[in-house]
Structure 1
Amino acid sequence: MNSLVVVAHPDPNSLTHHVAHATADALRTSGGGVDIADLATEGFDPRFDSSDLDFYRGTGSTPEAVAAEQQRIDRADHLILVFPMYWWSFPALLKGWIDRVFVNGWAFDYTPGSSFEKKLERLTIHLVPVAGDDADSFERHRIHDAIRIQMEHGIIEYCGATVGSTTILHGSDTKSRDTLADDVHSVATTVAGRVLTKEPADCDALRCASCIPEPDFMAYPATSFL
C-alpha cells in the first residue's frame, strides 16, 4: 500500500511539517510505501494561469508541473493532505495545487450534454488540518460542517475518491510544546492506523492508533507552532 503525504507550509520547522513527517514515519513503521510532496520546497506554483486555462478550454495540453503531480497521485493508494488552516480553509498553496491538479479529464470527466464520470474511485484521501482554534470553537462555528461540505463532499467525493479520515490538531497557538509533541504523535498514529485498517472516518481513534506498531519517534519540537 502506497501513500502520498502532501504538506503545504513554507517553514520546514513548522508544526505542520512535523505532523507530516511524523505521519510518514508512522506509515513506514506499518510497512507501507510513503512519498512526501513538500509543495513549498519543491516550488509548486499554485496560480491557475493561462496554460491551465488553455487546457481547460481544450486548446492546450496539461502543464508539465501538473502532469507530474497527477502521476505522483496515480502511484498512491492513499493521499494525505497536511496543512495549516487559514480562515478555516486550505492555505492558498494547497488550494492552488488542488485547483490545478484535480482537473477535468483526470479527476473527473465531464462534457456538456454527456454523462459525468468520477475518476478517482481507487483513491482514499485523508485530511490533516493544523488549527489554532480549539475544538469548542470549531463546534460553535460549525467548522466541521464547512469541512464536510467544502472539502470532503465538494472535492473528495465529487471526484469519486473515498473520504478516509479528517484528523484535526487543535490549539497550535496556545498549547505547550510538550502537549503539541503528544498531539503530533496521536495524530500521526491515528492517521496511519486508518490508512492501514481502512477504517471509516468515524472510527474510534484509539482503536485505530493501536492497530500499528509504535513508531520510532516521540517528540517534534517545532520552532513555529502553526
Structure 2
Amino acid sequence: MHALVVTAHPSSRSLTAELARVARAALEACGHSVEVSDLYAMDWDPAVRLADYGDVVRESETVSVRSRHAFDAGALAPDVVAEQDKVRRADLLVLLFPMWWHGMPAMLKGWFDRVFVNGFAFGLQDDAGLPRKYGDGGLVGRRVLAVVTAGDRGESFEPRGLNGELEELFFPFLHGTAWYTGMEPLRPHLVAGVDRPGWDAFDEEVERLRERIAGLGAEAPIRYRALADGDYGRDRKLRVDVVPGERGLRIHECHDGEPGRAAPGLAGRCVDDHRLAS
C-alpha cells in the first residue's frame, strides 16, 4: 500500500507534527510506502486564485468550469498538479490536524479547494451519462483517515456530548468530500483533552495511533449509502420506505437489516482488505 500523509499545523513541534511522524513510522513499519505533504512547511497557498487555471478560461465562467478547462488542458498551477499526483499514487490518505472552530484549519481546507478540482475528484459521468458521486468519483479505490486533536475531553464528542458527536461534526468532510469523490472514509481518530491542565497521555496516544494504523487493513469504513444504491429519489431525498420517519445525518449510513441496501460491489468493499494489505 502507498499512503499520503497530509498534515496542517504551523509548528513543527506541535502534537499534530509529532503524531504525523508517528503515523509515517507506523505505516513504514507495516511495510507501506509513504509520501508526506506538510502544508505549512511547504508554504502551501490555501486560497483559490484564478492564476491556478492559466489562460484557458473566459472571465464569465465559474470556478468549477474554469478548473475543469484547466485540468483537461493540463494547465493547472504546478503546485496543484504535484499534489494531485501524490493523491493519484495513494491508496490511503492520512490527514492530521487540530480541530479549530469545530473543523479543519483553513490551510487544509484550502488544500482540498485547490487540489480536488472538477475533472480530477468530481464532475465525472458513468457510461449512461449519470453523475459519479457519493460512493463513486475520481478518487474511488482510496481510503481516508482523519487524525484530529481537540482541546476538550473525549466525552464531550460522544453522541450526548456538548460539542456534538464527532462523526456528525465531520459529516461535511466524511460524506461531502471523501464519500462524494468516491473515497471510503474511516471513522475519525480523535486525540482529545490535549488542552486540559496536566494532560499526560502522549505515550498512550502514540501507542493507540500505532495500533490503529496497524489494524487498518481489516477495518471497515463508514458505510454511507451510495447515490447508485437506489435509496434516493430523483429529488435526492431518501425514499419514504427507507428508514421511514427518521431524520438527521445518520440516515445516510446503511446498516444491515434495514430497508436500505448497498449497491452491488459496494458492500464487499466495506470488508475487503486485500487492497490495503497489498
Is residue 2:128 matched to residue 1:120?
Answer: no
Give the 3-state SS of the residue equivalent to 2:215 in structure 1: helix
Count residues with an aligned counterpart.
Answer: 199
Segments of structure 1 that go 5 or more residues without pairing to the other structure are 203-226
Aligned residues of 2:65 and 2:118 also touching (Cα < 8 A): no
Percent same amino acid at aligned positions? 34
CA contact (8 A) 2:166 2:188 kept: no
- State the structure with more CA Rg: 2
- Aligned-pair CA distance for 1:185: 2.3
Deviates more, 1:45-54 or 1:89-98: 45-54
Report the secondary structure of 1:168's partner residue: strand
Contact 2:96 2:148 in 1 (8 A): yes
Higher normalized helix content (fraction of residues): 1
Equivalence for 1:200: 220
Pairwise mapping of residues 76-95 of structure 1 onto structure 2 (< 5 A)?
76-95=90-109
Give 2:2's aligned residue. 2
Q: What's the TM-score once normalised by structure 1's chain length?
A: 0.80
Cα distance between partner residues in 2 of 1:198 and 1:50: 42
Letter in 2 for 1:153: H
Contact 2:19 2:96 in 1 (8 A): yes
Q: How does 1:92-171 map onto structure 2 within 5 Å?
A: 92-110=106-124, 115-117=130-132, 118-139=137-158, 140=161, 141-171=163-193
1:18, 1:175 → 2: CA distance? 19
Q: Give the AA of the match of 1:131.
A: A
TM-score with structure 2 length normalisation?
0.66
Q: Let me know the Cα RMSD of the aligned residues.
A: 2.2
1:159, distance to aligned residue in structure 2 (A): 0.3
1:133 is displaced (CA, Å) by: 1.3
Superposition pairs for residues 34-113 of structure 1, below 5 Å?
34-52=34-52, 56-58=64-66, 60=70, 61-110=75-124
Matched residue of 1:12: which SS? coil
Per the alignment, residue 22 of structure 1 pairs with 22
Pairwise CA distance, 1:39: 0.7
For residues 40-97 of structure 1, what are the alpha-carbon distances to aligned partners after superposition, in whole Å with 9 as ceiling and x for unaligned?
A: 0011110111224656333543221111000011111100000000011010100000
Counterpart Cα distance in 1 of 2:199 and 2:214? 22
- Larger strand percent: 1
Partners of 2:100 and 2:29 lie apart in 1 by 31
Q: Which runs of 5+ in 2 are unaligned?
A: 58-62, 223-278
